[in-house]
Amino acid sequence: MPRPKLRKLDYQEFPPPRFHTPLPGPDDWKLWRAVRPLYELRDFDLPASRRLPAQLAQEAETLASEPYLAMELEVAGAARVDLKTLLAPLARALPLRLATVRRASGAENVLRLSQAERAAPPSLAYHCSCLRTWGPAASRWREDLRQKLVESQAEPLLEGEVCLQLSWRCSSLQNWVELWRPTGDSLGPVLGERRPMRPLLERVSQMALHLSLDDRLGMAVDVGYWWSPVG
């Protein structure tokens, strides 16, 4: 099978990002949005190891010179995505601040790297935030996140596909890729769950993960959630 080719994108040929248009939102959260596509990788297998895809590794130095980057992933059909494995090499090598994942009807996976800029939170139906002063390695971290959603009287989405945005404010001491798993485990009050810490993540068809670095936080992490039905 021939290796997929990495194609450099001309901004003029590419439409604006199709994810939610950021609008003024609650609190003082600042998120990210993709604004100018740089590179696109089509028809590739989702990574099974924590290595930068060879096609992107060749452009890593150029990409690393960008101030901030966004990764946009379109997933074909019901293919499974291991976010931790996918994001780890990108976050290690590049100034990644935003990662979006969207299930698409096409027959191929598409990965796109774009410039990113600051944006206000989206005006979605529901929002919750939670500041925790211990790191995600602590066993009670995800339990406290889940309890915060319960206490906020988060209205669960009882059926259908879900659009989800998560944002982490943390210091550069944190490996933000490691924050996805405990945060995802806490989403039962929103998505429904088979049992505590086993939410129905397969309902999420559109997702955006945002990173804001603030070294004043030390080992504390501030987590923001926004969710709404798709459509």
Q: Which range scores top for mean pLDDT: 4-8, 129-133, 202-206?
A: 202-206
Backbone CA torsion sign across 186, 49, 101, 107 = negative
CA neighbours closer than 13 Å in the CB half-sphere of residue 219: 7
Residue 125, pLDDT score = 56
Percentage with pLDDT > 90 across the chain = 39
pLDDT in tens, 87-116: 999 999 999 999 999 988 888 999 999 999
Q: Which of 66, 100, 119 is the last residue of a domain?
A: 119
Residue 9, pLDDT score = 65
pLDDT over 90 (residue 215): no
Q: If you ran DSSP here, which 8-state letter would residue 189 be given?
A: H
pLDDT over 70 (residue 35): yes
For residue 149, the one-letter residue type is L
Q: Which of 119, 144, 161 is the last residue of a domain?
A: 119
pLDDT over 80 (residue 144): yes
| Residue range 134-155: mean pLDDT, rounded | 78
Q: Are residues 111 and 22 in the same domain?
A: yes
The backbone torsions φ and ψ at residue 93, rounded to the nearest 5 degrees and listed phi first, read -100, -20
Residue 19, pLDDT score = 31
Q: Cα(77)–Cα(68) distance, rounded to whole angstroms?
A: 29
More confident residue, 199 or 17: 199
Cross-strand pairs, 96: 69
pTM for the model = 0.85
- For the ranges 6-15, 122-131, 190-199, the lowest mean pLDDT is seen at 6-15
Cβ atoms 46, 55 nearer than 8 A: no
Cβ atoms 122, 165 nearer than 8 A: yes
Nearest to 78 by CA among 199, 204, 165, 182: 204
More confident residue, 35 or 104: 35
Instruction: Establish if 216 belongs to a structural domain.
Output: yes
Q: Which of 119, 148, 169 is the last residue of a domain?
A: 119
CA geometry: angle 62, 63, 68, nearest 5 deg: 135
Percentage with pLDDT > 70 across the chain = 85
Q: Cα(44)–Cα(218) distance, rounded to whole angstroms?
A: 38
User: At 17, which CATH number?
Assistant: 3.30.1330
Instruction: Establish if 181 belongs to a structural domain.
Output: yes
Cβ atoms 65, 35 nearer than 8 A: no
Instruction: Establish if 27 belongs to a structural domain.
Output: yes
Q: Cα(127)–Cα(26) distance, rounded to whole angstroms?
A: 8
Cβ atoms 168, 186 nearer than 8 A: no
Residue length of the chain: 231
Instruction: Establish if 109 belongs to a structural domain.
Output: yes
pLDDT over 50 (residue 12): no
Host domain of residue 46: 6-119
Q: Are residues 17 and 112 in the same domain?
A: yes
pLDDT in tens, 80-93: 888 888 899 999 99
Q: Are residues 68 and 157 in the same domain?
A: no
Instruction: Establish if 31 belongs to a structural domain.
Output: yes
Q: If you ran DSSP here, which 8-state letter would residue 15 be given?
A: P
pLDDT over 70 (residue 20): no
